[in-house]
Amino acid sequence: MTSPDIIRQFDRVPSNIVQQAAQYQAAILADVAGRRGALHGRIRALRPDMKFAGTALTVEVRPGDNLMIHAAMSLAKPGDVLVVDGKGDQTSALMGTIMFTACKQLGLAGVVVDGAVRDSLETEELGFPVFSVGTNPNGPTKLVPGRIGHPVTVGGVTVHAGDFILGDADGVVVVERAKIESLLPQAAKKVKDEAERIAAIQQGDTAAKWLDAALRAAGVLREGERL
Helix H or strand E encompassing 186: helix 180-202
CA dihedral 99, 50, 87, 155 (to 10 degrees): -150
**Mean predicted confidence (pLDDT) in 200-204:** 95
Taking the C-alpha atoms of residue 120 and residue 52, their distance in angstroms, rounded to an integer, is 17
Cα 227 to Cα 219: distance, rounded to the nearest angstrom: 13
pLDDT score, position 225: 86
Angle among Cα 210, 216, 219 to the nearest 5 degrees reads: 140
Tell me the longest C-alpha to C-alpha distance in the chain. 71
> What pLDDT does 162 receive?
98
Pick the CATH number of 15-182 from 3.50.30.40, 3.30.465.10, 3.50.50.60, 3.60.15.10: 3.50.30.40
- Secondary element (H or E) of residue 69: helix 67-75
In the chain, domain spans: 15-182, 185-217
* φ, ψ for residue 134, nearest 5 deg: 170, -160
Phi, psi of 128 (to 5 degrees): -110, 130
pTM of the predicted model over 0.75: yes
Contact 76, 55 (CB under 8 A): no
Kindly give, in sequence order, each residue whose CB lies less than 8 Å from that of residue 47, ignoring residues fewer than 6 positions away: 124
- Which residue type does 227 have? L
Instruction: Determine contact, residues 106/77, Cβ cutoff 8 Å.
Output: no
First to last CA, the chain: 70
Residue 2's pLDDT is what?
61
Reduced to 3 states (helix: H, G, I; strand: E, B; else coil), residue 67 is: helix
What mean pLDDT comes out for the span 57-79? 98
Q: What is the mean pLDDT of residues 87-116?
A: 98
Distances (CA, A) of 51 to 44, 142, 157: 10, 29, 19
Q: Does 3 have pLDDT greater than 90? A: no
Residue-wise pLDDT for 125-184, tens only, equals: 999 999 999 999 999 999 999 999 999 999 999 999 999 999 999 999 999 999 999 999
CA distance 192 to 187: 9
